[in-house]
A and B are shown apart, each in its own frame.
Chain A
Amino acid sequence: MEDKSSAAINSYLSFRLGEEIFALHVSRVQKILEMTNITAVPQSPDYMKGVINLRGNVLPVVDTRVKFGMTPVEAGKGTSILVVEIMLEGEGVMVGLLVDAVHSVLKLEDEDLLPAPRIGRTYESKFIQYMARVKERFFIVLDMDAVFSSDEGLDLATLTEVREQMIKEQDVDEN
């Protein structure tokens, strides 16, 4: 049932980390919370910001910026926590993603979604589910399961590079 509905919906939630825009399929996003007090857990990885109380359950919160190799999130007006469900070792796990700002909900048709570029050397490309084209701009639609099945951080610079590469290739195709 869920498969059917999530396949039919073509909305994506985009969010901002620094200057970069990323997107997630809306079916993955359970809710969006305002920034709240986060209880830090000592001796955990840098990108694990801590835990919060989500309706009586303990929700781990990830500093997405740190996970992506950027400086830690500084709580500001736009700072939000996206509650998303990811698959970890075959099990659904809820996690909060700390992001600089929630951007918008995009409607993306199939033809706007380009497969992840197969640039072999960049290990980052496996975290990219699609490249989405919106008005001549490219967003990275993230594969959250892949992002979290690795303990390591991602390198934003490489992700951006991959995107630039895509744009170039597209230009070549169109000319």
Chain B
Amino acid sequence: MDVSLENFQAKFVEEALDNIAELEKTLLELDLSPRNKELLEKVFRIMHTLKGGGAMFGFEQLSSFAHDLENVYDRIRLGKLNVTSSLLTLTLDSVDLLRDLLDHEKLATNEMASRCSAMLQLVKTWFEEESEGQKHGDSDRGLSDSDGGEAGETATWYIHFYPGKQVLENGNNLLYLLDDLAQLGTLHAVPRAIDLPDGLEALKPTFSYLFWDLFLATDAGKEAIRDVFIFVDNESVIEIQRLSKSNLLESKGFVSKLESLCDQKTALTLTDLNSFVEDSKGLTGSGQPVFAEQAGTGTAKPDLGKPLASSVRVSSEKIDGLMNLVSELVITQERLNMIAGRYQIPELKMVTERVQKLTGQLRDSAFSMSLIPLSSLLARFQRLVRDLGTQLGKRVEFVAEGAETELDKTMIDSLTDPLLHILRNSLDHGIEVPAERLKAGKDPVGKITLEAGYAGANVVIKVKDDGAGVDEQKVRRKALERGLISENEVLTREEVLQLLFVPGFSTAGAVTEVSGRGVGMDVVKRNIAAVRGEVALASEKGRGSCLTITLPLVLSIIDGLLVRIGATLYVLPLSLVDRIYATESRRLENNFIDVLELGGRQIPYVFLRKEFGVVGEVPSRSQVVVVRYEGHVVALVVDQVVGKFQAVLKPLGKLFHGQKMISAATIMGDGSIALVLDTSALIRQVQG
């Protein structure tokens, strides 16, 4: 029992996090169009779902907090309050709190409780102030509900509730529902059972055989009552009718009649009730029996449900498993090709080609499954720009283009922090305050653009701003201060920009809360390099900066250049290869400065044979692979370039934890192993 509750809890947390993310996104949209009714409804609905789910799965604080917010949005929805910027800021802050409220570990701390109550107080204060301020808007709104569903006055309601047999299977605790109802007012519940099977054997313990006749005296409206049933109304029968505009449950006669009714076997009928109300009318004197028509048909529609999604949720482990199998298949395929090539049997060849085609298609579709659109991160970026802009007194418009561009999910994960940092930098150092912008003849509202798109086998992400750009003098001064360059060093603009990526560099005059927390662009660069990406910065003083991130499309298979050094095969990432030359090996023998002249350029080189300590005779001619490295090129000398190779990356494992230059291994068609070189790490190690 406990286990299953935990399962449901985990499921709930997962869904709630999705909901909260959706909420965040909707709020940001609402910020742009505060009068959009649809968005408002969505916010309200999400709050409601959080409230209901939270209560049901034991997240009491979450539930009560969401409840308060829901109330606020309910008022707005009904047109009694307006959306203001202050409200949105408040709600966005609450979004963070809501997230933390889902975290059991954080929940246990005292800090959480105080945060929660502080936030509640803020919401309350806002609510009171705004209700006061916006009151005049109230009067011109008439009450619209004709069936008396409006909240405000005490009335007695009759609720017939049959949850359906399968209700327990969804993990619904019906007692919670009744508790919820009881919180609305005074509840008198008459439980009943239907269709009880004969004998215990026939009784299915997982079925619910119960239904209820509920009498509720409350000042909450019909909507509020219906909302209690929001999670069960798919399969259940719910009828809600108003019996009287007074509290019948306060009259002793009514209650005693109700109790006597409990002993009767038959279900209640309308006429039964009619007489009741007539009776009680006499007793209370003032009650006006009002019979609304039945609320909708017997089975309520799930009107508040989400639109059906045409997607399924699959755990990432399953995807990883699939990817592994596909990788195996690609390797096996290579093997088959080799064997088929050896025997030259026409039939075998045909089958091999067919299998190859299918493997390729399978690989592509499996990879596309593990891709996530960049837009999944947008809400966080928009949020950051909004919050930070306000905090810094800057006005910024954030535009995202090509957000549908898809990336490997591990890549998305490792991109989030660097991108947030880049945006923070743009806001803090790039975009100027409005006054300054006006002075420079710019639009007072700054603009940050996130552009994403495919370029060959890469994904390119650009973050542009139309801010002040990088001040070369300032960077120079700072670099000098930090001892990164010497006084008379002549640097090109390119080189100055590269200084920004040097560890320990930060241009912010003072350490602000925003950026310059010791975490600099060097960390961004390192994080992106960890997923085999590259960063480049272009900047024009006064016009703005553009930071370009180039990433490989998938992480687990790369296009490589196969080379041989001694007896071992190595794979270099093809995306970094610039050019290939051949050279006499003796040119390397007495070369003291480790620079080769290739194609008219002086290029520093690394003699990999020597570097790897390969013994044996050096071939008379070596081949030189020129690779790109941090804005320049470096030549890697190998024995022989074998050709292009598609490498399925396999980790080397923990025992090689000290190994940085070899990022992975790959299995060749004949079953032997080639090592995948991380050229950047290699060059860094050699030069450092």
Contacts and interface: CB of A to CB of B under 8 A. Distances in A.
Interface in B624-664: 650-656, 658-659, 661-662
Pairs A-B, 3 closest by C-beta atoms? A42-B612, A39-B673, A58-B650
Contact of B655 (A40, A42, A43, A62): A62
Nearest to B329: A56
A39 B571 CA distance: 13
Contact-size category for B: 20 to 34
Nearest to B653: A60
A140 B251 CA distance: 88
Nearest to B664: A58
Interface string A46-75: 001001110011101010000000000000
B654 A53 contact: no
Given A42-B613, A53-B671, A56-B328, A93 B658 contact: no
Contacts of B613: 42-43
Given A52-B673, A53-B673, A93-B653, A45 B658 contact: yes
Nearest to B327: A56
Nearest to A93: B654
Given A43-B613, A43-B659, A62-B655, 12 more contacts: A37-B672, A39-B672, A41-B652, A43-B612, A44-B656, A44-B659, A53-B673, A58-B665, A58-B673, A60-B656, A93-B653, A93-B655
Interface string B351-384: 0000000000000000000000000000000000
B667 interface: yes
B83 to A, nearest CB: 51
Interface in A78-121: 88-89, 91, 93-95
Contacts of A91: 654
A57 B650 CA distance: 7
A39 B656 contact: no
Given A60-B655, A148-B655, A42 B662 contact: yes
Nearest to A42: B612
Given A53-B673, A56-B331, A58-B650, A40 B656 contact: no
A44 B568 CA distance: 15
Nearest to A62: B655
A40 B661 contact: no
A60 B662 contact: no
B301 to A, nearest CB: 49
20 contacts: A39-B665, A39-B675, A40-B568, A41-B652, A42-B662, A43-B659, A51-B652, A51-B673, A52-B673, A53-B671, A53-B672, A58-B650, A58-B665, A60-B653, A60-B655, A60-B656, A62-B655, A89-B654, A91-B654, A148-B655
A120 to B, nearest CB: 30
A11 B656 CA distance: 31
Interface residues of A, number: 24
B611 interface: yes
Contacts of A44: 656, 658-659
Contacts of A41: 652, 656, 659, 662, 675
Which of B614, B656, B658, B662 is the most central at the interface, judged by chain A CB atoms within 10 Å of its CB?
A: B656
A82 to B, nearest CB: 15
Nearest to B660: A43
Contacts of A148: 655
Contact of B667 (A37, A48, A53, A93): A53
Nearest to B668: A53
Contacts of B654: 88-89, 91, 93
Contact of B665 (A51, A88, A93): A51
Contacts of A37: 672
Interface string A144-159: 0000100000000000
A143 B656 CA distance: 20
Contact of A58 (B612, B652, B658, B661): B652
A51 B656 CA distance: 10
B180 to A, nearest CB: 44
Contacts of B568: 39-40
Given A43-B661, A53-B672, A58 B655 contact: no
Contacts of B331: 56
A44 B653 CA distance: 13
A146 to B, nearest CB: 15
Nearest to B673: A39
Contacts of B658: 44-45
Contacts of B653: 58, 60, 93-94
Contacts of B673: 39, 51-53, 58
Nearest to A56: B328
A95 B655 CA distance: 8
A120 B667 CA distance: 46
A42 B328 contact: no
Nearest to B331: A56
B63 to A, nearest CB: 37
A58 to B, nearest CB: 4
A167 B443 CA distance: 89
Contacts of A40: 568
Nearest to B332: A56
Interface string B577-597: 000000000000000000000
A43 B611 CA distance: 9
A45 B657 CA distance: 10
Contacts of B675: 39, 41, 51
A57 B654 CA distance: 14
Contact of B652 (A45, A60, A89): A60
A42 B667 contact: no
